[in-house]
Amino acid sequence: MKKAGIIGAGIAGIATAIRLANKGYQVDVFEANAYVGGKLSEIQLGAYRFDAGPSLFTMPHLVEDLFQISRKNIQEYFQYSKLEVICKYFYEDGTIVEAHSDKRKFAEEIEQKLGESKEKILNYLQKSAKKYEITESLFLKRSLHKLETWLNKEAFRGYLNIHTLEVFKTMNQANQEAFKNPKLIQLFNRFATYNGSDPYQTPATLTIIPHLEHNIGAFFPKGGMYAITKGLARLAEDLGVKFHLNSKVQEIITEKNKVKGLKIDDSVFNFDLIISNMDMVATYKYLLPYAHHPQKLLSQPKSSSALIFYWGIKKEFPELKVHNIFFSENYKEEFKHIFQDKTIYQDPTVYVNIGSKGEPQDAPKSSETWFVMINTPNNEGQNWDELIKEARKSILEKLSRLLKTDIESLIEVEGILDPRTIESKTSSSQGALYGNSSNNRYAAFLRHANFSKEFDNLYFVGGSVHPGGGIPLCLSSAAITANLIQ
């Protein structure tokens, strides 16, 4: 039986382990932390349980696929339900919009609250679905670094529809052409943040993202987001995968054009192939010191990061949903601060995820778990202690003003995750959440391949390589990589 060694037990590493176990490999996964999941983990603060990282669950079929190929009943490992309201949006002038999962109901809400016709909304979502259909087979299911990807019928179909993808417009330009109301443009510009981008720079191709939420849906896992990690890790173990926690890889052992094994605690473990789920930059910097480093890829600008407060709130807010957005009054200035000035805007857009809305046992009675996040620049040595202090004040003022409640007086416990700790806990270069930035039309081609061009049996998965970051793309990355392995 061939042996595969995987570096990192992030969601992509676990999914790759499942796929290789189904191919007959003996799989060992080495994780530096004391837990699996990477960013998709959990924290406990007093009586409050929080999902630590990604808080939105879309495209559940990518998780289901792992159980199907394993011939296991997903219901025995993992369950989820569809949210009736995807997100609730709050604007400074008092306007409130509920994004219903029923897209017609959502379109009617927009027409009533923002004055844009429901036909415009439905046409926009149909166009988003068309873009996704064109790009899915080419960008999300295959390696962009193999010739055969560009010589199949899906690729030629994409060439014929290149105009539909609007690659020469920015997301903001496309949304301004689609709508007149600035609030609605801001709502759809928000989807750039799903891969750490700036809507005023990133190509309009990324207007495919609303399709995932509004045409397919947003979902809530029973047990919270960490249930995804736990369900997949248990599936992997049932297939014979072995997880080695607190096992930091020191080096990938190479010999000519092959990788031979992994050095851990000064011992060497031999493998027939190795897959790194570690950030691509960190993999080369720390584990492959003697290999050729693809400097052009390694030096690409990184995506945005985040500042997250985990607040145990000793009150229930029935007017809030699982996902809530409190918009900045000047979105363009906010992104300028993040991507050009490398700092935090005084009036940031605030995302509040309340996991206890779906899992009441995560908080004490009459209390809630608030995952409060703002987008930030990645770590370039800023004075984060001062930035965090100022941002916390701005966030509390904004939430208190819009909810007409003194939020700070309700905080019973508090935890903080910032770009520095994201970097140290997950080895993400500069604390960037999504690897390289997608703020140019060539971004898809400036991600590292899912395989090494120098070593025949070395592969890569996860958010820092093709096709990108976020749960769906990491799961797609695992499928692409596993399909490359014979």
Q: pLDDT tens digits, residue range 403-447?
A: 999 999 999 999 999 999 999 999 999 999 999 888 887 776 778
- Tokens 């793309």 belong to residue: 473
- Which pLDDT score is estimated for 141? 74
- pLDDT at site 15: 98
Q: Where is average pLDDT lowest: 176-190, 320-334, 429-443? A: 429-443
More confident residue, 148 or 480: 480
What are φ and ψ of residue 465, in 5° steps?
Answer: -120, 180
Q: At what angle do helices 471-484 and 11-22 cross, to 10 degrees?
A: 30
Q: Tell me if 3-41+224-300+445-484 shares its fold with 111-214.
A: no
Instruction: Provide the mean pLDDT of the chain.
Output: 94
Give mean pLDDT, residues 341-355: 98
Specify the pLDDT at position 155: 60
pLDDT tens string 35-78: 999 999 999 999 999 999 999 999 999 999 999 999 999 999 99
Q: How confident is the model over 196-249, as pLDDT tens digits?
A: 999 999 999 899 999 999 999 999 999 999 999 999 999 999 999 999 999 999
3-class secondary-structure state, position 465: strand
pLDDT level of residue 150 (50, 70, 90 thresholds): low
Q: What is the mean pLDDT of residues 1-23?
A: 97
Distance CA 341, CA 202 (A): 17
What is the fold, at CATH topology level, of the domain defined by 111-214? Guanine Nucleotide Dissociation Inhibitor; domain 1 (1.10.405)
H/E element, 205:
none
**pLDDT(341) > 70:** yes
pLDDT of residue 387: 98
Instruction: For residue range 253-264, list pLDDT tens digits in order.
Output: 999 999 999 999
Contacts of 213 (CB under 8 A, 6+ apart): 58, 86, 87, 99, 191
- Percent of the chain residues topping a pLDDT of 70: 96
Task: Tell me which H or E stretch contains 36.
Answer: none
> Using CA atoms, how far apart are residues 405 and 392, in angstroms rounded to an integer?
16
Tell me how far the alpha carbon of residue 242 is from its chain's centroid: 25
Residues 19-23, mean pLDDT to the nearest whole number:
98
Model confidence at 450: pLDDT above 60: yes
Question: Residue 466: which residues within 8 A CB-CB, separation 6 or more?
Answer: 143, 144, 145, 444, 447, 448, 449, 450, 477, 480
Count of beta carbons in the 10 Å neighbourhood of residue 389: 10
Reply yes or no on whether the pLDDT at 133 is more than 90.
Answer: no
Answer yes or no: are the C-beta atoms of 83 and 100 closer than 8 Å. no
Q: For position 163, what pLDDT does the model report?
A: 63
Q: Which residue has the higher pLDDT, 240 or 158?
A: 240
**Mean pLDDT across the stretch 458-476?**
94
* Dist CA 51 CA 56 (whole Å): 11
How confident is residue 168, by pLDDT bands cut at 50, 70 and 90? confident
Q: Residue 398: its pLDDT value, please?
A: 98
**Residues 61-71: tens digit of each pLDDT:** 999 999 999 99
Q: How confident is the model at residue 103 (pLDDT cuts 50, 70, 90)?
A: very high
Give how far Cα 278 sits from Cα of 13, 31, 281, Å.
9, 10, 8
- What's the mean pLDDT in 292-311? 93
- pLDDT of 153 higher than 90: no
Say what percent of the chain tops pLDDT 90.
Answer: 86
Q: Which has the higher per-residue pLDDT, 370 or 468? A: 370
Topology (CATH level 3) of domain 3-41+224-300+445-484: FAD/NAD(P)-binding domain (3.50.50)
What is the structure's pLDDT at 353? 98
Domain ranges within the chain, ordered by starting residue: 3-41+224-300+445-484, 111-214
DSSP collapsed to 3 states, 6-29: EECCEHHHHHHHHHHHHCCCEEEE
Gap between the Cα atoms of 185 and 115, Å rounded: 12
Distance, in Å, from the CA atom of 233 to the CA atom of 241, rounded to the nearest integer, reads: 9
CA separation for the pair 327, 409 (Å, rounded) = 23
This prediction has a pTM of 0.95
